[in-house]
Structure 1
Amino acid sequence: MLNLLNARKAIHKTQQEVADYLGISRQAYSNYEAGKREPDFETLLKLGEYFGCSVDYLLGNKKDPAPKGEVSDEDIKFALFDGAPVTDAQYEEVKRFAKFIAEHNIRPKED
């Protein structure tokens, strides 16, 4: 998690402020920054949203953070498949299904 510190400093926040946002202790967040512990998937998504960068950037897979609101294919694959390897064919099938849903205005039923 080498980029957590850089991302936090870029938005001028303290460890305590980030920890409060996540609902964890400052020490728990500090352990993420120090590489002593790794955040779970949901926490990674929250951190990316809070810092306005991609999960790939936080994980050290990209040198530059993606602008807020921009989602890379790698972010989507990570979110859908929890980091498991995904073939291009599998990913294309997911994209085709998403397009079908959008074109047919399919919405989940509300309770």
Structure 2
Amino acid sequence: MQIKLYDIRKNKMHLTQQQVAEYLGISTRSYRDKELSRHPFTQDEMFKLSSYFGMKIEDIFLPRKYQFGTKEHKKALKNK
């Protein structure tokens, strides 16, 4: 799961999956699958989201090996 993306979308920007999917021009189901890491985001989608949220890509997306979170990453997120 793209934990950072989920947190930004839901808790900071207060957006639904449908709203973000519409911005990207994809279906809500496709967006949901990507947010859950069932399918990868394209580079174009990552750049669009970076621009949309006004953030760096690395501040939104986790490297693939960390998408589901590690104990250290989850601990770091809790301490923020």
Shared fold by TM > 0.5?
yes
State whether structure 2 residue 32 is matched by structure 1 residue 4: no
**Runs of 4+ in structure 1 displaced over 3 angstroms?**
none
Q: Deviations over 1:28-78 (max 9, x none)?
A: 1101111111111111000111122110012226x8xxxxxxxxxxxxxxx
Of the candidates 16, 19, 38, which is equivalent to residue 17 of structure 1?
A: 19
Instruction: Name the residue aligned to 2:54.
Output: 52
For 1:24, what is the secondary structure of its paired residue? coil
C-alpha distance in structure 1 between counterparts of 2:14 and 2:53, whole Å: 10
Structure 1 or 2, whichever has the larger Rg, is 1
Sequence identity (%): 34
How many pairs does the alignment contain? 62
1:2 positional shift: 2.1
Instruction: Name the residue aligned to 2:68.
Output: none
Between 1 and 2, higher relative CO (CA 8 Å, sep ≥ 6) is seen in: 2
Given the two structures, how large is their TM-score scaled by the length of structure 2?
0.69
For 1:47, what is the secondary structure of its paired residue? helix
Stretches of structure 1 lacking an aligned partner (at least 5 in a row): 64-111
